[in-house]
Amino acid sequence: MYKSFNNVQKITFGRGSLNTLEKSLEPLKYTNNNFCLFIIDNFFKDKNLLSKLPIKENDAVRFINVDLHEPTTQQIDDLRDNILKENGTPSAIIGIGGGSILDLTKATALMFKNKGSSAEYQGLNLIQKEGVYHIGIPTIAGTGAEVSMTAVLTGPENKLGLKCDYTVFKEIILDPDFLSTVPKDKWFYTGMDTFIHCIESENGTKTNTFSSANAEESIKLCKDVYLESNSGQTDLNNEKLMIASMMGGLSLTYSEVVVCHALSYGLSKVLHFRHCYANCLIFNHLGEIYSKGVKEFKEMLKKNDIHITVNLSENCSNETVRHMSEVAYILEDMWIHAFGPSWKE
C-alpha cells in the first residue's frame, strides 16, 4: 500500500543556524495582519534568547510552561482567541522548544484558519484549510515532531493528534546549539524516543525500504550519541541527535510505531507519565519482542548511568490496569503492524 505525505519545504541545519530566521521571515511580513507570533518554551524566558531573535515591535511573544501538562485543545483555543483579539492573524508562527511547543505551534497555526475548537479536528484529515505559515525550531531532540504530520493534543475525550498534510511545518531550523542546555535525563529519554520509533517502525508488517533506510541511519546515529566510545553530550553528538530525530520521524511516518507506543499511551493517559519517559519505562520490558533493540537500550542506560524505575504499577488496582490496557488495545492499526492481521490471537 502506498502512503503519500507532505514534507517540510525548507530545512536549515547547523550550529548557529538560528541566525537564518530573520531572512526566512522577511518575505512573510506583509501577509495577514503583519506580525509574527513567537511561541517559546518557558525554559528560555530568562536565558537571553529574545535578544537573538528577529522580534519586531508589533510581534507577539508567548512563553509556555510545558512542564505543567502536555498540550491540550483548550490551550490551543485560548491562545488562538487571545492573539486574534489582541493582534489579529499572524503572518507567521515560530515555535521554539521541544515536542510540546512544536505540537502547540502546528495546531495553533491550523486553528487561525479553521473555525471552532481544535477538539473538533482531533483525528485524520479533519482539518479543512491550510493554516498560517509556521516554522519549527526544536531545542531538544528525539520526538520527530519537527517533521511529523501530527500535533498530539489532549482533548476533552481523547489524547489524539490533529493529523493531516497541513500540519507539517513549512520550515524547520535545526540548530544543535540549543541542545547544550538540556539536562542529561531529558536528553536521554527524548533521544530514546527516536531510537524506539526506529526499532518499532522497522520491526513490523508495514516496514519498507523508505522507512528502514531512515531507521537504520537514525539507529546508527543514536548509538554514536549514547553508546560508542565518543558518546555523551558533545557538540558533534548534538548534531547527530538532531538528524537522528528527523530521520526517526520520517521512518515512522512511512511505517508505524507499535507495542511500546501503544502501551505507553495507556501509561500516559491513565498515570500521566510523559511520552518519552513512558516509552523508556515500557521499552525496558519488551525484550521478548524487540530483543536486539532492548539489549542495546539497556547498554545505553548503563553507559549513561540512567536508572529506569520498575514496579511502578505494583499498587495499581485491576481497574486501573484494565483502563491502561483498553487505551492500548483499541489501536488496531498499530497491532496489525506488530503481529499481522490475526494479532488478537
The only residue of 41, 171, 202, 256 in contact with ligand NAD, by rule CB under 6 A: 41
C-alpha cell at 101: 511547543
The answer to whether 207 and 255 have CB atoms below 8 angstroms apart is: yes
Looking up cell 502546528 gives 106
The answer to whether 118 and 107 have CB atoms below 8 angstroms apart is: yes
Q: How many helices (H) and strands (E) does the chain have?
A: 11, 9
Instruction: Single out the residue of 88, 125, 122, 89 nearest to residue 107, CA to CA.
Output: 122
Does 100 contact ligand NAD by CB under 6 A? yes
Closest to Zn ion by CB, 32 vs 211, is 211
Closest to ligand NAD by CB, 122 vs 150, is 150
By CB under 6 A, the residues from 177 to 196 that bind ligand NAD are 178, 181-182, 186, 190, 193
Q: Indicate the pairing of strand 92-97 with strand 123-124.
A: unpaired
The only residue of 41, 70, 193, 256 in contact with Zn ion, by rule CB under 5 A: 193
Contact segment (CB under 6 A) with ligand NAD among 115-123, 140-148, 293-301, 327-335 equals: 140-148
Does 235 contact ligand NAD by CB under 6 A? no
Cα Rg of the chain, angstroms: 20
The answer to whether 6 and 163 have CB atoms below 8 angstroms apart is: no
CB of 169 to ligand NAD, least distance (A): 11
The answer to whether 11 and 174 have CB atoms below 8 angstroms apart is: yes
Does 155 contact ligand NAD by CB under 6 A? no
The only residue of 107, 152, 242, 338 in contact with ligand NAD, by rule CB under 6 A: 152
Does 253 contact ligand NAD by CB under 6 A? no
Does 264 contact ligand NAD by CB under 6 A? no
> How many chain residues interact with Zn ion (CB under 5 A)?
1
Alpha-carbon distance of 76 to 78, in angstroms, equals: 6
Residue ranges that bind ligand NAD, judged by CB under 6 A: 41, 43, 66-67, 70-71, 97-101, 103, 139-140, 143-145, 148, 150-152, 178, 181-182, 186, 190, 193, 275-276
